[in-house]
Amino acid sequence: MSKKAPIGVFDSGYGGLTVLSELRKSLPENDFIYLGDNARAPYGTRSFDVVYEYTLQAVKTLFDLGCHLVILACNTASAKALRTIQINDLQKIDPSKRVLGVIRPCAEMIDTFSTTKHVGVLGTNGTVNSESYILEIKKIHPHIMVTQEACPMWVPLVEDNTFNTSGGEFFIRQNLESILSKDPEIDTLVLGCTHYPILMKQIVKFVPDSVKIIAQGEIVADKLVDYLERHPDMADKCSKKRITMYYTTENAGSFEEKASLFLDEKIVAKQIVLK
């Protein structure tokens, strides 16, 4: 029997914390290891090969730290690296380990939110260009019309903590007006990047009340609870001491400061090198 271990949660930076906080609410007894590759964020403008290489390094690191299950709490990594890791790499590394993403759970649920069946997806360049949302949503709900908008400035605004400025709001407003003008029938906007819920206060200012804004955290958490119920062998391998550990590839002090702000609690982080 393998040693019980925390669930790994990976993102390029701070965005995955929006998923982690929902995972902790839904699985309050479980342990988690959060890993942010802040030193190399954002991933959104990087090539397929680079995102795959960095994500694989992160997954291997979380496996080395003992995790049996890793959640890619990053749409860009889910879009560009998840499939290859699931199909090719897990076989070689350890077929008993699992890596799950954030796009599929959201695509499955989207139909329940939209009445007009016109949905908008906001994401990084990488996620939008991969067309992963269009492919995943159309596979399950072929009748839904999907319009995308890349918001390349939004992740840097979070990573640099400059979103609460008039300059930051300018970019947020510009992308929201752009997607809503591409398809005025949109009644549901998916925040298809885990960084974006941190911008929620700014986003709601520029979206009419009739449009629902969907953050992924709760959806991913519900789907993980369901997954663990369907896979009791994996649930048994997850340790439960209510502990969360934080690792970052950047300076631990600055990660602690910003992550504490986003999570609204004091956290302690360790710096780690991915290779």
Number of residues that bind ligand DGL (CB under 6 A): 17
- Rg over alpha carbons for the chain, rounded to the nearest Å, is 18
Catalytic residue among 106, 151, 193, 238: 193
d(CA 275, CA 272): 10
Catalytic, 74? Answer yes
Residues in the chain: 275
Count Cβ neighbours within 10 Å for each residue of 34-58 and write b for 16 or more, e otherwise. Answer: bbbbbbbbbbbebeeeebbebbbbb
Site pattern 212..251 for ligand DGL (x: CB under 6 A): ----------------------------------------
Judged by CB under 6 A, does residue 259 bind ligand DGL? Answer: no
d(CA 173, CA 95): 45
Q: Which stretch binds ligand DGL (CB under 6 A): 104-112, 133-141, 162-170, 190-198?
A: 190-198
Judged by CB under 6 A, does residue 107 bind ligand DGL? Answer: no
d(CA 104, CA 118): 18
Judged by CB under 6 A, does residue 124 bind ligand DGL? Answer: yes
Single out the residue of 38, 55, 127, 175 in contact with ligand DGL (rule: CB under 6 A): 127
Shorter beta-carbon distance to ligand DGL: residue 76 or 239? 76
d(CA 121, CA 179): 8
Catalytic, 106? Answer no
Judged by CB under 6 A, does residue 11 bind ligand DGL? Answer: yes
d(CA 14, CA 27): 20
- The closest alpha carbon to 47, from 108, 122, 107, 124, belongs to 124
Q: How far is the CB of 19 from ligand DGL (least distance, A)?
A: 9
d(CA 30, CA 38): 24
Judged by CB under 6 A, does residue 120 bind ligand DGL? Answer: no
Token representation of residue 169: 């709001």
Site pattern 140..169 for ligand DGL (x: CB under 6 A): ---------------x--------------
CA distances from 242 to 23, 152, 164 (A): 12, 35, 33
- Strand pairing partners for 269? 246
Catalytic residue among 67, 74, 106, 151: 74
Judged by CB under 6 A, does residue 130 bind ligand DGL? Answer: no
- The closest alpha carbon to 31, from 220, 241, 218, belongs to 241
Q: Which stretch binds ligand DGL (CB under 6 A): 70-78, 132-140, 198-206, 250-258?
A: 70-78
Q: Which stretch binds ligand DGL (CB under 6 A): 36-44, 133-141, 198-206, 225-233?
A: 36-44
Q: How far is the CB of 195 from ligand DGL (least distance, A)?
A: 4
Token representation of residue 163: 């979103």
Single out the residue of 21, 30, 61, 76 in contact with ligand DGL (rule: CB under 6 A): 76
Which residues are known to be catalytic?
74, 193
Binding stretches for ligand DGL (CB under 6 A): 11-13, 15, 41-44, 74-76, 124, 127, 155, 193-195
